[in-house]
Structure 1
Amino acid sequence: MSEGQPVYQPGFNPDSTCEAPPTGGSYGTPVAEGAGFKYDEATLHELAKEWAELAQEYADDLHEAQAIAVAKPPGLEYASGDNATITRHSGVALVEALNQRVAYCKNMAAKYLAALGKYATTEERARTVINQQPKGIA
């Protein structure tokens, strides 16, 4: 691993067949006042998009998990019925876990979108202050 600040490469998987990583943001600049990071606007957009896509992937998996949660025994003997009961319990647990993951990912995407809103508000405030300054050399 190289020295220095790690770089966040949105959507980049180093194990993929991709020729080169996309250009993008960084992990963020450490904040001097305490814990946390600062992200640039492009990184915030990409992170929100990635969390939303991950939430959708989990939501897509819910369809298959529902099938497991309502599994029927293949036969009418004791072993088949017991196996189906256990399988249904696993399916219900899987559905619950996937629902939690969907909610978590949507929450993370919402946090990055909220940060984008704050970013835009700060940019607008700065633009207003600059536009109120006298033009030219005083």
Structure 2
Amino acid sequence: MTMPEGTPVYQPGFNPDSICKAPPTGGSYGTPVAEGAGFKYDEATLHELVNEWSDLAKEYVFDLNEARAIAVAQPPGQEYASDGNAQITRGSGAALQDALRHRISYCKSMASKYLAALGKYATAEDHARTVINQQPEGIA
């Protein structure tokens, strides 16, 4: 598979491998910041990122609830092999639950960071609006 030419652009909400080829909604990830490392996002992209990270966290919460069945697996019989298999399965279930809890925490943290960025965006917009409104009206 060859790589497409040009700078890759993330399109929030769009999965090119999905059966559904709906056009993306929201903004686009990142115009590189000329002053240094980082990216700047438009407001629509920030909203989409909050939604995507929040939705992913919800999916992991669902998976965590489903993983409980693995973590409490009981042996199907009373023999040694069944008991040993169930113990190993429960250990795997516990590890899965732990990994899912970390993923939930990470996703919620990312959503919070984008919410904070939205707050800064709104504050900057309010400040710009105040400065513009303080300008005298008309042509001087």
Same fold (TM over 0.5): yes
Deviations along 1:11-58, one digit per CA (max 9) or x if unpaired, are 111112334422431221111221110000000000110000000000
What letter matches 2:103 in structure 1? R
CA distance in structure 1 between the partners assigned to 2:6 and 2:103 by the alignment: 32
Q: Which amino acid aligns with 1:128?
A: T
2-structure distance, mates of 1:113, 1:34: 22
Residue matched to 1:38: 40
Find the aligned partners of 1:91 and 1:75 in 2 and give their Cα distance: 19
Gaps of 5+ in 2: none
Residue 26 of structure 1 corresponds to 28
Where in structure 2 are the equivalents of 1:1-138 lying within 5 Å?
A: 1-138=3-140
Q: What percentage of residue pairs aligned between the two structures are identical?
A: 77
Amino acid at match of 1:101: R
TM-score normalised by structure 1 residue count: 0.94
Structure 1 gaps, min length 5: none
Contact 1:6-1:26 within 8 A present in 2 as well? no
Q: For 1:15 and 1:109, how far apart are their aligned partners in 2? A: 24
> How many residues of Structure 1 are paired with residues of Structure 2 in the alignment?
138
AA aligned opposite 1:32: A
